Amino acid sequence: MSFQRISAYGFIFIVFLSLTGCSSKSSYAPSYSSGGGSSGSGKIINTPNMHRATMRPYTIDGKTYTPTMVSVGDYFSGIASWYGKDFHGKKTSNGEIYNMYEMTAAHKTLPMNTMLKVTNLKNNKSLVVRVNDRGPFVGTRIIDLSYTAATRLELVANGTGPVGLEVIGFAGVVAPAGAPKESVVETDYLIQIGAFRNKNGATRFAQSNSNVNNRYNAIVKEGIFENEPIYRVWLKGFGSEAEASDFIAKGIFKGSFIVRE
């Protein structure tokens, strides 16, 4: 099973998994600065600097991935793969040390430390993993499981398999049974993308930008400027100031700037 993964410091490793029964695949992880240093196996790194870094868009092989805010109860399905001993002891994308025997996983866009219930759709076996890495960037695969997680789901022999993913918690904590559906907390950083004297014009502009990049939503905020009403259109949904700054740098909305609610 061939892999290609970029570590937290940007080095590229091309290795071959030697565990029995694995089929060929490749996977990458983008480079981040954790701000919190490395940790021992099993220790969750969740500093503010790490969170800002791992919620920033990143590009692999010319394709940009934007970490996504999700809610408890959100469900996804697709193909799972796994990675093992050749990455054991190396840094994950959020600065932790990868331990192939722990219940962790790599995902392209979910916030770090999201808790997922993973179900093998062929045998209905399920377990809980914590996202602490980025990947896999191969075809339609949606998650890279640790060796132990894949073993318990009986996915190791074939290398890949169909799974269902349910978001069940954040920050390494599983939400209690019956807890209301709740999103990852967004920051109070927004981007102003327009300002109008006419409320109808502002409303139409906001409606036309109700789902930018399948993530950010426009809202209208009424205020007073030079003793007259003004209707500002703000884009919300950013996980950090860095993410908002990166979005502005793309130049999608000329003259846009960060505001704080």
Q: Are residues 13 and 135 in the same domain?
A: yes
Q: Distance of alpha carbon 32 from its chain centroid, rounded?
A: 13
Mean pLDDT of 5-30: 34
pLDDT above 50 for 129: yes
pLDDT of residue 45: 53
Which DSSP category does 35 fall into? S
Q: Pick from 145, 174, 203: which residue ends a domain? A: 174
Q: What's the Cα-to-Cα distance from 222 to each of 190, 198, 199, 216, 232, rounded to whole Å?
A: 15, 11, 8, 19, 6
Q: Are residues 165 and 229 in the same domain?
A: no
Tally of domains in the chain: 2
CATH number at residue 254: 3.30.70.1070
60 found inside a domain: yes
pLDDT in tens, 74-109: 999 999 999 988 889 999 988 899 999 999 999 999
Q: Are residues 165 and 194 in the same domain?
A: no
pLDDT above 50 for 29: no
pLDDT above 50 for 4: no
pLDDT in tens, 182-237: 666 666 789 999 999 999 999 999 999 988 877 788 999 999 998 999 999 999 88
d(CA 62, CA 65): 10
180 found inside a domain: no
pLDDT of residue 51: 52
Q: Are residues 213 and 118 in the same domain?
A: no
Q: Which residues pair with 2 in a beta bridge?
A: 16
Q: Percent of the chain scored above 70 by pLDDT? A: 77
pLDDT above 70 for 250: yes
Domain that holds residue 199: 189-260
User: Environment class of residue 172 by beta-carbon count within 10 Å: exposed (0-12), middle (13-18) or buried (19+)?
Assistant: middle
pLDDT above 60 for 23: no
Q: Are residues 159 and 199 in the same domain?
A: no
pLDDT of residue 53: 58
Phi, psi of 52 (to 5 degrees): -60, -40
pLDDT above 50 for 14: no
CATH number at residue 96: 2.40.40.10
pLDDT in tens, 31-89: 332 333 333 334 555 544 445 557 778 888 888 888 877 888 899 999 999 998 888 99
d(CA 206, CA 122): 44
182 found inside a domain: no
Q: Give yes or no for a contact between 235 and 191, defined as CB atoms under 8 angstroms apart.
A: yes
Question: Is 136 in a helix, a strand, or coil?
Answer: coil
Which DSSP category does 91 fall into? B
Q: Percent of the chain scored above 90 by pLDDT? A: 47
pTM of full prediction above 0.75: no
Q: Pick from 174, 201, 236: which residue ends a domain? A: 174
